[in-house]
Structure 1
């Protein structure tokens, strides 16, 4: 499970590196962020992250706290975590929640674990 958890932790570390982050994703990844925006496909996510890093969103930092990880099948894993959000934008156009429940689904492809799906739901 450590290798699976490490991919999730790497996604946190690489949150300001669109290419590094995208390299952790499957080609057909599905991502729903804490603001409710749905992105489908690695290249769509890469482009959205590049755009975000060139905007005020570069001042939003998150930290992942992993709670549990388990195998659904030998090549599919689920990671349950909390996303802690620090919004340092001077003038946010829309406030973000401080915390979200996040679920990662990872798939083993070519001997490595990749993120196939991420769903973040705001927590009050």
Structure 2
């Protein structure tokens, strides 16, 4: 018999708060990596894979020191669903706001962002973040 995993309202609220904090902290290497598990996997818009929080921290700091420091994104949660009692799939739409002088928005202005959020001893953390560009029509 298959059971459907459900989230408590408290857990869903905590997960939505986590995603919101991650969105607000995208330019803060002192905050954003700490929202991820030690063994996190990040796959960015370009398909670059980062394995582990330390690698993510290093890559984020380098990106913020380059022209990418003027590229921001905003995230809208589309769906939150439990996979297990301790793992949740969060589907989002990410929108790119390229604030570099004279820049055109490439890759596409939007992407499908998927998080796998896991319950740890410290609360909910991001175990995986994967962004896939959404082709414009």
- 1:73 counterpart residue number: 84
RMSD value, Cα: 1.6
Q: Spell out, residue by residue over 1:21-79, the C-alpha distance to the aligned partner (whole angstroms, 9 max, x if none).
A: 00100001000011221111001001111111111001101000001101111110110
Residue of 8, 24, 27 corresponding to 1:13: 24
Asked whether the 8 Å contact 1:87–1:96 carries over to 2, the reply is: no
Runs of 4+, deviation exceeding 4 Å: none
Residue of 60, 65, 88 corresponding to 1:49: 60
* Larger RCO (alpha carbons 8 Å, 6+ apart): 1
TM-score by length of 1: 0.94
Task: Identify unmatched segments of 5+ residues in structure 1.
Answer: none
Name the structure where strand makes up a greater proportion of residues.
Answer: 1
Task: Identify unmatched segments of 5+ residues in structure 2.
Answer: 1-11
- How far off is 1:95 after superposition? 2.8
- 1:83 counterpart residue number: 94
Residue of 69, 73, 77 corresponding to 1:62: 73
